[in-house]
Each structure stands twice: as C-alpha cells, then as structure tokens.
Chain A
Amino acid sequence: MRFTKDHEWVELDGDVATIGITAYAAEQLGDVVFVEVPDIGKTVAQGDGLAVVESVKAASDVYAPISGEVVEANGALGDAPETVNAAPEAGGWFARIKVSDPSQVEVLMDRAAYEEYLGTL
C-alpha cells in the first residue's frame, strides 16, 4: 500500500489499483455521511479529482493517486458511507483503476514514510 500527502491510499494488484482514503483522513473527517464514487470508464490523471467524500464537518475531493481508467466503483458506500469510518483501508475503498503507468506508484510514500509525514502535521 502506498500513500499520498492528500491522505489517499493505493494498492496495486497487477495493473489494477484499489484506491481509498487513509484511517487518518477518515478520523479527521469525522462521521462520513455521503460518498460520490466515479463512473466506470472515467479516465483520470494522477492528481485529478476522483471522488467526493462528505462528512458532518466538510466536503472534500479525493484525488487520483495514479492515472488510469476507472474499472470498478464501490457502490455499496452509497447506502453505507459509515464503512469509510469503520474500515477506511479495506471495505471503505472508493474505486479501482486500470493503471496506465504502474511506475507512478513509486513516487508515493510507503507506510513508514506516510507515518513519518503524519508526525509532521
């Protein structure tokens, strides 16, 4: 699993990347009340808006940590946005992307680097 400074995580399996927000992000947002996942087939570039997450405190964009085409979206979050709080780095995933350049993931932080980054916030 790799991480961005905007608190997204990405896990690469072959050329398909699963994307979500980190436990830290979910905790900072508070109770998530709404999630807008992308349409299948949508093409995103690294850093583009991918999804929207809304909590009782704020609405935030979730950025694509890696470029590619959306092949699956976690529609279950529509009825159960609380999954993002309960299991942010597992069942609370947002979308799966068929990545165009797997090497993009290399520039992202590993868990140790991310934890270190969190310590600076």
Chain B
Amino acid sequence: MSSSMNTVGRPTAPVATAGDIPPTLTGARGLLQDEALIFELGGWNKTGVDLPPAERPADDLAGLLRAEPIGLPGLSEPEAVRHYVRLSQKNHAIDLALYPLGSCTMKHNPRLNEKMARLAGFSDIHPLQPVSTVQGALALIDRLAHWLKTLTGMPAVAMTPKAGAHGELCGLLAIKAAHEAGGQGHRKTVLCPTSAHGTNPATAAFVGYSVVEIAQTDDGRVDLADLASKLGPDVAAIMVTNPNTCGLFERDIVEIARLTHEAGAYFYCDGANFNAIVGRVRPGDLGVDAMHINLHKTFSTPHGGGGPGAGPVVLSAALAPFAPAPWITHHADGFHLVEEAVGEATQAFGRMSAFHGQMGMFVRAYAYMRSHGADGLRQVAEDAVLNANYIKASLADVMSPAFPDGPCMHEALFDDSWLEGTGVTTLDFAKAMIDEGFHPMTMYFPLVVHGAMLIEPTETESKQELDRFVHALRLLAGAAKAGEVDRFKGAPFHAPLRRLDETLAARKPKLRWRAA
C-alpha cells in the first residue's frame, strides 16, 4: 500500500465524546449558517446584473433624476440565491412535514399542477394579447368556472378576485349593488357570528356596513333565536362560514338561509372551509347567495400563489346580474371577453382587478380538479374529515376537545382547560411542538374558545404521519401534566431561532432597517 493514498490515521467511526457539547467558535451550528439581513450583506456598490448603459440621456426626466443612492442591497447572483436558500432552511414548508394550521388548509401542492402551470401557453401570455391568440387560456378559465359552478350548484361565478378576502369584498359589493337596484340601499347592517374569520366583519366595514354579532350556541353553532331577533329591515346580509371556524357543520344552515331571505337580506357564505364539503354538499342547495372559494385551500394551489392568490366568487341567480366584469362568453368564432358594463352587463358593479384573474392559480386548480375527477374531489372532503376526527379521537383523552359531542368536520378544536393548573399555556405548548419536530397548530383562534388549539391535518397526510403527530402530542401532553414546565416555558430550544419577545416587538417595533 502506498503511503500517498492518505489512508493512514483516518478513523472511520465516530469517537465517543464525554460531557457537554462545546459551543462552536463562530456561533454557527453545523452547516446551518447564521444569516444576516439582506441589507447587511454584500455592500452597496455591486450588482448581479450587467446592464448596458442607458441609451436615452438621463435629463429626459426634467430634473427629477434621483440624486441619492436608491439603497438596494448589492448582491451577486450566488449571494442572493444563498441568502434565500439559507432563510428557507430555517423556515417550515408543507414540502417538509405536516403543517397542522387550522383554518389554513396546508395541504400538499401536487407537482402535476406545477408542470401544467409552466406550459408556455399559460405562463408566457400577456393580458393585453389579442383574444384570438389566447383561446386556450380562455377555454381553461371557462372550464374552471364550469367546475366551480357545478361543484357549488350556483349559476354564476366571478373569477377575478385575488384572495378569499377579496372575494368577500366582491360578494358584498354584488349584494350592495343588488340592494340598491331593488330600492333597498338603506340596509346598513351585516350580521356575523362571534366565531367568524376576522376578514368577515372587516370586509363588511370596508364596504360601509356596520357589523352586529350573532351569538353562538353551547355546541358551537349559530344561535338561531339570536339571529332571528337581529334580522330586520336594516340588515343587508349575513356572513356565515360553513363548516364554521370551530370545525363544525352548521346543521341549521337551511333555516338560516330561509330566515335571512324572509328578512330581505342576502346570505354570504365564507367558503374558506369548502374543502370539508366539496363533492358532498352544494352551497347553492343550502340557499347561499354568494360564496368565495379559496383555490389554495380546496383546490391545492400554493398559499399566496406566488402573489397574488385567487378567490373566485360564486353567485346566486339573484346576484348574478351584478357580477363584476370581465367574464367569458362563447361564440361560433371562439371565446370572447366581456370587459365593459354595456349590453348584457349593464348592471355589473365594476371590476375587481385590472385584468382577468390569476392564470397560474387557475391552471393549478383545474389540473387538480381534472386529475382527481368528481369522485376524487368527494374523497378529498371525506378524507379531510376522517383525518381530523382521527386526531380528535386520538387526543380526546389527554387534551380537551372544545366540542366533545359528535364528530368534527375538517379540523379538530381543543380548548386549554386540560392545561389548567399545569403552568403551561397554549402558546408554551405550541412552541414546545417545534422542538418535537412539528409546526404548531393555529392558536387562540377561534376567539370564542379559551386558549384555542385548532388542528387541521388535511386529507393529504397518511395514517403513519398522523400517528407520528399524535404520538408527539401525547408525549408533550404527558410532560405538561407531569409538571415539566421548563420544557415548555423557554421553548423552542432546538429551533434555529428561540422564542421572540412578542410584547416588546409589538410595543417597540423596529419598522425600518437603517445602516449602523
């Protein structure tokens, strides 16, 4: 053997060390880099892009040329790439593990959707292209609209809203337009249950309505008697989520719709939780007048959509004439776009966005629908509900379900009564979950449940993964009850960053970075 092979003196098995692990000299942790703010990297006099000098003289700007540096960080391409990859290593993502945020529906984003969205005919088109050159894209929007209308049992859909809350705005603007057209413009109140998503009252207020809360029954549903007492000639609409934010189906939904219509108001349904009923219940059959559909929740597009998202709104026959432009019509020579409030569209209340909606989200949602089929979408809802009930049943003896009677829908809600006397709060418990390898559930929402812990496993998790999750939570619950308070109070101990001082951050926020 030649000594030049450099095989001498190299141990091939780890050597056991005794005692504490010494801290590193640099503060780094293994190959995980401690990452600075992007403004602190690289300096200011560098760029990763090599642009030719401008051909036009700068004084075209009539003396408005910026005299001060623009203050953008100067990074080369590898520096910029590394910065964001390092940050992503410290973050959590659905591609890494279960992401049980209740009310958010963090489910798998199928790779097939991504492949379809990257087809040039969808990804490389411009909204100002001649309509004759984008017939395929229009056909896809039209087919997606057809599926949304069919799945919801509603006659019309506005495709352009860019998010759930934008969809709420669209729905309430349609309701307002309908009331004004019907001589009911004096109606100024919108009713929302106490468990509503915060966006519901915010949207109503934004449209100019005042909000009145509807009380909740002990079993977590809309209090019908309270609703009936608050409906009247001043009420423009009610906004109800079904299944609601407690993860419960509103059993009286048909009666809620009947009472609402009897009072001359419209029924806006927050469709955020449509993923729990898709393929099984058609909101149109329940008496809903308008409902947004978060494509990222029910139809698996990425959250945020790479900016923006998509929140189409289905509308009843009563509201359809007021739907915002644009929409697609089909003629012998292909698809047309109705862009202006003329002809058949004179009652359209306006537009929700400059162009035609978020094409990338449309393609992904349609790919999801077509790859699952109608029966597959029904199974999505069934599996989402089954998984949530598996979590609820597996933890009911160690944690306290907020509504123990009967099954839940797509999310399992616990209160913090089981933590009473342990010295551990919901926040502490959630932070300790990070140490055990799981992203926390939604905390302190809905507001109607004390110390709420809202778990939404989604249909895309396997039984093995759910069991791993349940096992970790059972161990943690046992530790809390055994008085291991230290395990919780300072958690997370093993995450790239420790617990933040939320109070200080809110009381004395640093809103702007300045060079030292």
Contact = CB atoms under 8 A, between A and B. Distances in A.
Interface of A: 31, 33-34, 54, 56-58, 81-82
A58 B503 CA distance: 12
B193 to A, nearest CB: 17
Contacts, number: 18
A33 B444 contact: no
10 contacts: A31-B503, A31-B506, A33-B506, A33-B507, A34-B506, A34-B507, A56-B506, A57-B444, A58-B444, A82-B507
Contacts of B507: 31, 33-34, 81-82
A54 B505 CA distance: 13
Interface of A is mostly: loop
B375 to A, nearest CB: 42
Contacts of A54: 506
B427 to A, nearest CB: 9
B502 interface: yes
B449 interface: no
Given A34-B507, A56-B502, 15 more contacts: A31-B502, A31-B503, A31-B506, A31-B507, A33-B503, A33-B506, A33-B507, A34-B506, A54-B506, A56-B503, A56-B506, A57-B444, A58-B447, A81-B507, A82-B507
Nearest to B444: A57
Contacts of B503: 31, 33, 56
Nearest 4 A-B pairs (CB), nearest first? A33-B506, A31-B503, A56-B502, A33-B507
B334 to A, nearest CB: 50
Question: Which of B444, B502, B503 is most buried by chain A, counting CB atoms within 10 A of its CB?
Answer: B503
Contacts of A81: 507
B454 to A, nearest CB: 14
A84 to B, nearest CB: 12
B158 to A, nearest CB: 30
A31 B103 CA distance: 25
B429 to A, nearest CB: 15
Contacts of A56: 502-503, 506
Contacts of A57: 444
B405 to A, nearest CB: 21
Interface in B49-87: none
Nearest to A60: B447
B185 to A, nearest CB: 24
A34 B506 CA distance: 8
Interface string B490-516: 000000000000110011000000000
A5 B447 CA distance: 17
A60 to B, nearest CB: 9
A57 B425 CA distance: 12
Contacts of B502: 31, 56
A111 B9 CA distance: 80
A54 B509 CA distance: 14
A58 B447 CA distance: 8
Contacts of A33: 503, 506-507
A34 B505 CA distance: 12
A45 to B, nearest CB: 13
B367 to A, nearest CB: 39
B376 to A, nearest CB: 39
Most buried by A among B444, B447, B507: B507
A64 to B, nearest CB: 15
Contacts of B506: 31, 33-34, 54, 56
Nearest to A59: B198
Nearest to B502: A56
Nearest to A85: B503
A81 B503 CA distance: 11
A56 B443 CA distance: 12
B282 to A, nearest CB: 35
Nearest to B507: A33
A34 B509 CA distance: 12
Nearest to A30: B503
Interface in B433-477: 444, 447
Contacts of B444: 57-58
A57 B507 CA distance: 13
B433 to A, nearest CB: 18
B419 to A, nearest CB: 15
Contacts of A31: 502-503, 506-507
A77 B507 CA distance: 11
A35 to B, nearest CB: 11
A56 B447 CA distance: 13
A81 B507 CA distance: 8
Nearest to B509: A33
Contacts of A82: 507
Nearest to B198: A59
B209 to A, nearest CB: 15
A78 B375 CA distance: 56
Q: Give the one of A34, A56, A58 with max B CB within 10 A.
A: A56
B226 to A, nearest CB: 15
